[in-house]
Structure 1
Amino acid sequence: MSKNVFVVGLNDYNAERLRRLRGVENVTFHPLLTPAQVSETQDFDIPAMLAEAEATLDAFDGSIDAIVGYIDFPVSTMLPILCKKYGTPQVSLEALLKCEHKYWSRAVMREAIPDHIPKFTAFDPFDDNALSKIGEADLRFPFFVKPIKSSGSRLGFRIDSPEDFDFATEKLRAEIRTIGEPFDHVLSQADLPDEIRAVEGHYCMAEQVIGGRQCTVEGYVHDGEVVPYGTVDSIRYPQVLSFFYYLYPSQLPRKVQDKMWEITRTIMSHIGYDNAGFNIEYYWDEVQDKIWLLEINTRIAQSHCDLFEMVDGVSHQQVTIDLGLGRKPDMPRGEGPQNVAAEFFYRVFFRDARVARAPSRAEIEVASEAVEGTRIVSYVSKGMMLSELPEQDAYSFAIASVWMGAGKQSKLLWNYEQVMKKLNYEFTDIVE
């Protein structure tokens, strides 16, 4: 019989990707809410989105076999609520929040893997005495701050001085409630311990600075079995916090990856996470040979889909769909046409600027054809301000992404340079 899978925020490109998965011959994919509502905005009215999604599902004349998504907040936090109501497989809201509520997540990690986490504390950015309270928690400069519900790299800051903290606090106070208020609605649906309920959606985390070679372990849990299936390196631009490219498969030593996978099995089992995909970001401090766990994300990384398809033969949306239908994921390995693959981020390091020129669709197609199998997405158009872009880090703007594969990493980097030579962006009204 045909299965009906509802995908929150489904767009045309991902609809094509899903149809290339294994075992979907009898699956019909249905969009649930639009990308404009859930990912192309910073205004998240979760009660309204849930109401609209439920109205669509209630009106559907057929079986509802799976409700899935591959997008971060707010989609990730809406899925357990929708799946529970309609009886489809998904992780519990409480287990999900043990990952997504950054303070609760660190508290749980402290119980199971204390040697792999930094010092941390929660603070209220609207508290004028927050900096002194952070000091009382034995955190000294430098440290890092971010919302307790982060969304991408947005509103994350390295703090080296009181002036840095004042700058971060100003930004946090201005923007934190766009995440905090909708997250509070999600928290109100969950059974929380009192000490976690006291850390509200607008709170932030202060953490000891950790670092090293960064990577992401992709995995899933099916019927209690934790299965890591790939490690992707996260390469930053020199001397800054912004990502340059994601590389798959990882170039880290095998023993380091094996240890990360062991930590992954330990923490996800301890949390009680089940029947859903996830990824965990790690650092390996090569000098101290120490592994740090940065954070847990409760969905596959959409940026990595093309990388898995190029190297392994299928997007790891395979994991999302199979788990949504209650079956063990059929994820291949090494069956793709490339040995390595990457997503590159073309960035500009301005405070703000206006786009004076962006490449046309035809120019993007020509650039893509420079290296077979390349996909380019430009995020800007002529006349827009860079500050209009959603989900940006605090130090740069990603104006385009380039996905490509190759036989080896050095060839991949050379190919990227050839492609970017064909794309011309220009800016005015630059704020340095």
Structure 2
Amino acid sequence: MTKNVFVVGLNDHNAERLTSLRGVEDVVFHPLLTPAQVYETQEFDIPAMLAEAEATLDAFDGSIDAIVGYMDFPVSTMLPLLCAKYGTRNASLESLLKCEHKFWSRSVMAEIVPDHTPNFTAFDPFDDDALSKIGEAGLRFPFFVKPIKSSGSRLGFRIDSPEDFAYATEKLRAEIRSIGEPFDHVLSQANLPDDIRSVEGHYCMAERVIGGRQCTVEGYVHDGEVTLYGTVDSIRYPQVLSFFYYLYPSNLPRPVQEQMWEISRKVMTHIGYDNAGFNIEYFWDEVENKIWLLEINTRIAQSHCDLFEMVDGVSHQQVTVDLGLGRKPDMPHREGSQKVAAEFFYRVFFRDATVARTPSRAEIEVAAEQVDGTRIVSNVRKGMQLSELPEQDAYSFAVASLWMGASTGSKLLWNYEQVMKRLNYEFTDILD
């Protein structure tokens, strides 16, 4: 019998890619809410989105066999609510929030893996005494601040001085309610401990600066069994916090990866997370041989889909769809056409600028043809302000993304340089 899978925020590229997964011959994929509503925006009216999604599902004349998504907020936080209402498989809302509510998540980590959890505290960015309270909690410069709920690296700041904190606070006060208020709506649907309920959606986290070689462990839980299937390195631009590229498979030593996988099993089992995919970000401090757990994301990493497809033979959306249908994921290993793969981020390090020129579609196609299998997505259009781009970090703007594979890591970097020579972006009104 045909199985109907509803995908929140489904776009054309992923609609095509989903049809190439294993075991989907009897599956029909249906869009639920548009990309413009859930990630091509900075306004998240969750009650309205839930109401529209429920209206679509209620009007559907057929079985609703799975409701899935592969994006961060607000998609990840809406899925448990929709799945609970329509009886499809997903993690519980409370177990999801133990990952996505950064203060609750850090509290859980401190209980179960204290040696891998940095010192932390929550604070209200609208509290004029917040900096002194952070100090009273035992944190000294430098430290890092971020919202208790964010997506990507948005509104994350390294704080080295009171001036840095004042700048971060100004930005947080201006922008944090765009996610804080809709996140509060999700929190209101959950059974929260009192100490977590008091840390509202607009609160922030301050925590000790941790660092080293960064990576992401991808995994899932099916019927209580935690499975890890890949580690992806996160390589930053020199001397800054912005990501340059994601690399798969990881170059970290095997014993380090195995320890991260063991930590991941321990944490996800303790949380009670089940029947959904996840990824966990880590740092390995090579000097001290210390592993730090950075954060848990309650979804597969969409940026890694092409990487798994090129190296392992299928996008790891396979995990999302199989789990949604109640099946153990049929995820292959090293059956792809490439030995290594990466997503590169072409960035500019301005405070803002106007886009004066972007490559034409023909120019992008010619650039992609330099290396077989390359996919290029330009994120900007002529005349726009870079500050209009959603989900950016505090230090740069990702102008374009490039996915490609190769036989070796050095060949991969060389390929990137050849492709970028064909892409010409120009900017005016630059604010340094």
Please confirm whether the aligned pair reaches a TM-score higher than 0.5, indicating the same fold.
Answer: yes
1:126-205, aligned counterparts within 5 Å? 126-205=126-205
Question: What displacement does 1:250 show?
Answer: 0.1
| Aligned match of 2:384 | 384
Q: Gapped runs of 5+ residues in structure 2?
A: none
| Aligned match of 1:227 | 227
Letter in 1 for 2:131: L
Cα distance in 2 for partners of 1:56, 1:294 equals 37
Question: What displacement does 1:422 show?
Answer: 0.1
Letter in 2 for 1:28: V
| Aligned match of 1:333 | 333
Question: What displacement does 1:151 show?
Answer: 1.1
| Aligned match of 1:238 | 238
| Aligned match of 1:319 | 319
Q: Secondary structure at the match of 2:393?
A: coil
Identical amino acids, percent of aligned pairs: 85
Q: Secondary structure at the match of 1:326?
A: coil
Q: Secondary structure at the match of 1:215?
A: strand
Letter in 1 for 2:89: P
Q: TM-score, normalised by structure 2?
A: 1.00
Letter in 2 for 1:84: A
1:84-99, aligned counterparts within 5 Å? 84-99=84-99
1:328-407, aligned counterparts within 5 Å? 328-407=328-407
Cα distance in 2 for partners of 1:172, 1:20 equals 41
Letter in 2 for 1:260: M
Cα distance in 1 for partners of 2:417, 2:288 equals 34
Cα distance in 2 for partners of 1:228, 1:198 equals 34
| Aligned match of 2:419 | 419
Q: Secondary structure at the match of 2:107?
A: helix
Q: Secondary structure at the match of 1:258?
A: helix
Letter in 2 for 1:425: Y
Letter in 2 for 1:66: A
Letter in 1 for 2:429: D
Q: Secondary structure at the match of 1:332?
A: coil
Q: Secondary structure at the match of 1:88?
A: coil
Cα distance in 2 for partners of 1:109, 1:153 equals 20
Question: What displacement does 1:230 show?
Answer: 0.1
CA offsets 1:255-312 (integer angstroms, 9 cap, x no match): 0000000000000000000000000000000000000000000000000000000000
Cα distance in 2 for partners of 1:276, 1:341 equals 25
Cα distance in 2 for partners of 1:383, 1:283 equals 38
Q: Secondary structure at the match of 2:240?
A: coil
Cα distance in 2 for partners of 1:52, 1:157 equals 35
Cα distance in 1 for partners of 2:371, 2:414 equals 10
Cα distance in 1 for partners of 2:354, 2:228 equals 42
Cα distance in 2 for partners of 1:265, 1:259 equals 10
Letter in 1 for 2:154: R
CA offsets 1:214-259 (integer angstroms, 9 cap, x no match): 0000000000000010000000000000000000000000000000
| Aligned match of 1:291 | 291
- Is 1:4 the counterpart of 2:30? The answer is no
Q: Secondary structure at the match of 2:144?
A: strand
Q: Gapped runs of 5+ residues in structure 1?
A: none
Letter in 1 for 2:347: R
Letter in 1 for 2:137: A
Q: Secondary structure at the match of 1:380?
A: coil
Letter in 2 for 1:421: K
Cα distance in 2 for partners of 1:125, 1:236 equals 28
Question: What displacement does 1:118 show?
Answer: 0.3
- Is 1:65 the counterpart of 2:65? The answer is yes
Q: Secondary structure at the match of 2:305?
A: helix
Q: Secondary structure at the match of 1:331?
A: coil
Letter in 1 for 2:418: Q
Q: Secondary structure at the match of 2:311?
A: helix
| Aligned match of 2:274 | 274
Letter in 2 for 1:8: V
Question: What displacement does 1:150 show?
Answer: 1.5
CA offsets 1:58-84 (integer angstroms, 9 cap, x no match): 000000000000010000000000000
Q: Secondary structure at the match of 1:278?
A: strand
Letter in 1 for 2:132: S
Q: Secondary structure at the match of 2:216?
A: strand
| Aligned match of 1:265 | 265
Question: What displacement does 1:152 show?
Answer: 0.8
Cα distance in 2 for partners of 1:152, 1:214 equals 15
| Aligned match of 1:38 | 38
Q: Secondary structure at the match of 1:381?
A: coil
CA RMSD across the alignment = 0.3
